Structure 1
Amino acid sequence: MAGSAEKLLLCFNMFLVHLQLWSFLLPISYSATVTYLPGFQGPLPFELETGYVGVGGESEEDVQLFYYFIKSEKNPKKDPVLLWLTGGPGCSSLSGLLYEIGPLRLVMEEYTGSLPNLSYNPYSWTKVASIIFVDSPVGTGFSYSRSSQGYQTGDFESSKHLYQFLSKWMIGHPEFVENPFYAAGDSYSGRTVPLVTKLISDGNEAGSELFINIKGYILGNPTTDPVLESNKLVPYAHGMGLISDELYESVKNSCGENYVQIDPTNVQCLKDIQSFHKCISGLNTAHILEPLCDFGSPKPKERVGDRRSLTQNYKEYFLVPHPSNSVLDCRDYAYYLTECWTNDNSVRNALHIHKGSIGKWQRCHRDLPYSHEIQNSIQYHVNLSKKGYRSLIYSGDHDMMVPFVATEAWIKSLNYSIIDEWRSWIVEGQIGGYTRTYSNRMTFATVKGGGHTAPEFKPKECIAMFNRWISEEPL
């Protein structure tokens, strides 16, 4: 009997070990299907899932990353799966879903106290791909931490969280494991998407428990090299006719084409920089042709660390009252409507938000205890290029926050040969932008008339661009 008891105890202990190993592989998550959303008339014409995946922390549950998953409206069994990150850092991925590449739009109507309405976006990228919109880093959107320590994060930690998220999410959605996978995002995500892609690649090479079928990455209006981006603002402004030839030549010569760390004893350079600011004051840097509005949640300034440059006084110059005939003339009004929508209890219930997890939803959380550790992400592009991953880098050509000339410059600095020379790409008989493809399988594209970021301003052109690229066709 004693021997039998020992064998029984041994079997029980082995069972516990296997249970612990299996529980490690299982996603610590919650998900639910959403078929109706307040503000949208009738059932949703696409498949939406929302949920949380627990990552980080000693218990693997401290950080709860919230996501919206929308299946491809074409062939979800075979179509690519995208991870989508919105920049900031600290801006909710709902921005990408509602304003850029998702199948829903806020209806631009003046707010009267009733719930804002939603409409269907016919130019959604979910026409040809399944997309996971993740609120990252923790503290963004509906993502939260069970402990105060969990909110202490940065570029490296948040990227690790995303890799953990993907691994667990894929385990919970095994039907998508073999689909082609792409990491994607815009703005500040130009720092983290390349690192997330590298972490996935490294995990695959190391033989991690789950192989993610990563094929490449996509970046829109990405901040990559902040020094280069600052130094390209002056030539961009000159090329767009915002400053005179004389001022351009003077500031270029007096500052030595270096506008990041200005010598306080260089009187002429300081004078020229002041003249430069006066010329561009009042512009909407997200799109230089659009009106500047001083209400709602403005687009975030790119976070580039502590620096003294010609961009450091943007708030002083740009966030000033400007009269408008109607709030509906301002694209930013949609951001205000989104906050009215997301903070309604019926919406939170429909999205299955954990009660008490966060207070007021903010489109962009500007006070996160976040460490900006990646000052330049070019090294990750070099690494991924050597491994043969595809990439699409696109820029709205009227974006002054991350000028396309800066993005074009760092891509050129990689010194890869050109295999498809600079040319226009066409949508319905009209020029959608310009493109060039390099031997490292990187495609650069401008979106004519696009801003920060391009799909918000030119959705029809951007879905055409994405569809061609994801199908491995020339733009």
Structure 2
Amino acid sequence: MMESKSKMRISLIILVLIVQVHMLPFSQSKSIVKHLPGFLGDLPFTLETGYVGVGKEEKVELFYYFVESQRNPHQDPLLLYLTGGPGTSAILPLFYQIGPLNFEYTNATRSDVKLEVNPYSWTKTANIIFIDLPVGTGFSYAKRWESSKKNSDSLVVTHAYEFIRKWLMDHPTFLNNPLYITGISYMGLIIPRVVSNIYDGIERGVRPELKIKGFLIVNPHTDKFIDFNSRTEFAYRAGLIEDELYEPAKEHCGGKYIYVDPNNTLCLDSLRPIKECLDRINVVYILDPLCNRQDPKQTCRESIYSYSNIWANMKSVRQALNIREGTVNQFQVSNANISSLFGRPDTIYYSHDIFSSLAYYKKLVTKNCHALIINGDHDMTFPYMGTKQWINSLKLGVQSPWKPWFIRTQVAGYEKTYSEAKFSLKYATIKGAGHSVAIYKPEESMVIVETWLASHNSSTS
């Protein structure tokens, strides 16, 4: 009898050890970061970093930064933020745009990168998860080579949905926070599908039930024809091309300036001088000079991104962020093998297989869902002209007509609100902003988001 009990104890101990070994990677997949190289003293906010395994057999490990709201983290909205590109690291929005810290340029050198508090961080009133997505972006990695090759827009949708479900299961205290899927640029093709998947999951009874309230997209890429085609009309309205160039193109091309029929020589001929006028325009912000990032003598907004490459490749930074050794040898703020350019074919690493997200907007119109779409009015990447066109195609009712919105009595931009049953969509422009609006107009970016979130949530300070 004693021998039987002894064997049972040994079996139980072995079982516990096996369970602990299997749980170990998951239990060690997140950590609180209290200090960051380049910032003096303790971080004045709660920062967590970690990994979430997704995909078949969790062969893909997605790295994230989670910043708790600096107001009321257990009641304030939870935002999952998807960075554009695709292939641009979450470090970009976290340290250049909407996060609680910024790279400080005035007193920094390329060998001594400094961080400072961002007074216009969205995390003042919201919890935000910044994620390196898709795999191959930032510090996210695949456990097997084939998992890093087989990537696409459609797979990003699947991974984003799986990520937020698993993250919330591991962070149950945030399960009841209002959830918003947010992001910028190329993620305009991705986000509506992720949100639609969440609503579909709720209707199927998938647990845990996500408290989805809506989505927010800055300068969204929504439809590959509408967005790129609208650049010509935008350039005309912005005074970059004259009537004598625009009118013949409009007539001969019939308003279709891309994917032109090669037999339509009149259209092609009329587009050549327009192309010459726009070739040296900085599309992300038409008032800035065109930047050559490879020229060490040139200083421009885009060249400052090199700070993040230097900082994120420092051993002390990787240790502070708890990056798994041997997973990403060389950090790059943007993965050129993944990123999208107009007319660029797919690569062996990535398939840009979503042409438009408009069908999913039409699905979401039937849900209890709130959307905020923001355009910088000096962005020619995905101009406001195209955004207005696809919004109009939804044929929503107008709840509030076009009007200015203000900061301290000054016009900050313009807004218009649409609604259909329980669905609402606010469209807002930010005056004088380019593609990444928070870089050009940080306060305006923060205020419009705070105001919109507050209008749909009852969080108290």
TM, length-normalised to structure 1: 0.86
Give the aligned partner of residue 462 of structure 1. Answer: 445
The one-letter code of the counterpart of 1:471 is A
Does 1:448 pair with 2:431? yes
Cα shift at 1:404: 0.7
Distance 1:366 1:342 in 2: 17
Give the aligned partner of residue 37 of structure 1. Answer: 36
CA contact (8 A) 2:139 2:323 kept: yes
The one-letter code of the counterpart of 1:254 is H
The one-letter code of the counterpart of 1:466 is V
Give the aligned partner of residue 312 of structure 1. Answer: none
Residue pairs, 1:240-319, within 5 angstroms: 240-295=238-293
Residue pairs, 1:317-328, within 5 angstroms: 327-328=298-299
Secondary structure at the residue paired with 1:350? helix
Q: Name which of 192, 201, 219 aligns with 1:194.
A: 192
Judged with a 3 Å threshold, the aligned counterparts in structure 2 of structure 1 residues 28 and 244 are, in CA distance, closer, same or farther, namely: farther
Cα shift at 1:277: 1.3
RMSD over aligned Cα, in angstroms? 2.4
Q: Name which of 185, 203, 209 aligns with 2:201.
A: 203
CA contact (8 A) 2:179 2:214 kept: yes
Write out per-residue CA displacement over residues 24-61 of structure 1, whole angstroms, 9 at most, x where no aligned residue: 9x96760111111001111111110001011112x22x
* % identical aligned pairs: 42
Residue pairs, 1:310-459, within 5 angstroms: 327-328=298-299, 330-368=300-338, 369-439=349-419, 440-459=423-442
Give the aligned partner of residue 345 of structure 2. Answer: none
Distance 2:204 2:32 in 1: 34
Misfit runs of 4+, over 3 Å: 26-29, 109-113
Does 1:46 pair with 2:45? yes
Cα shift at 1:201: 1.4
Distance 1:385 1:27 in 2: 37
CA contact (8 A) 2:153 2:354 kept: yes
Give the aligned partner of residue 154 of structure 1. Answer: 152
Write out per-residue CA displacement over residues 244-273 of structure 1, whole angstroms, 9 at most, x where no aligned residue: 011110111111111122222333322221
CA contact (8 A) 1:95 1:363 kept: yes
Judged with a 3 Å threshold, the aligned counterparts in structure 2 of structure 1 residues 28 and 246 are, in CA distance, closer, same or farther, namely: farther
Cα shift at 1:208: 1.4
Q: Name which of 122, 128, 131 aligns with 2:128.
A: 131
The one-letter code of the counterpart of 2:75 is K
Secondary structure at the residue paired with 2:220? coil
CA contact (8 A) 1:27 1:169 kept: no
The one-letter code of the counterpart of 1:166 is I
Distance 1:253 1:469 in 2: 41
Q: Which consecutive residues of structure 1, in runs of 5 or more, have no partner in the other structure?
A: 297-320
Cα shift at 1:370: 1.4
Give the aligned partner of residue 96 of structure 1. Answer: 93
CA contact (8 A) 1:28 1:54 kept: no
CA contact (8 A) 2:30 2:48 kept: yes
Distance 1:226 1:118 in 2: 37
Cα shift at 1:113: 4.7
Distance 2:263 2:280 in 1: 28
Distance 1:242 1:110 in 2: 36
Cα shift at 1:114: 2.0
Give the aligned partner of residue 239 of structure 1. Answer: 237
Q: Which consecutive residues of structure 2, in runs of 5 or more, have no partner in the other structure?
A: 339-348
Residue pairs, 1:165-204, within 5 angstroms: 165-204=163-202
Secondary structure at the residue paired with 2:455? coil
CA contact (8 A) 1:125 1:463 kept: yes
Write out per-residue CA displacement over residues 103-161 of structure 1, whole angstroms, 9 at most, x where no aligned residue: 11111248745231111100000000000001001111100000112111212222111
Q: Name which of 81, 100, 125 aligns with 1:84.
A: 81
CA contact (8 A) 2:213 2:370 kept: yes
CA contact (8 A) 2:110 2:307 kept: no
Judged with a 3 Å threshold, the aligned counterparts in structure 2 of structure 1 residues 466 and 397 are, in CA distance, closer, same or farther, namely: same
CA contact (8 A) 1:90 1:365 kept: yes
State the aligned residue count.
432
Cα shift at 1:174: 0.9
Cα shift at 1:230: 2.0
Distance 1:261 1:282 in 2: 21
Which moves more between the two structures, 451-460 or 258-267?
A: 258-267
Which moves more between the two structures, 82-91 or 228-237?
A: 228-237
Distance 1:385 1:118 in 2: 42
Distance 2:235 2:134 in 1: 33
Secondary structure at the residue paired with 2:450? helix
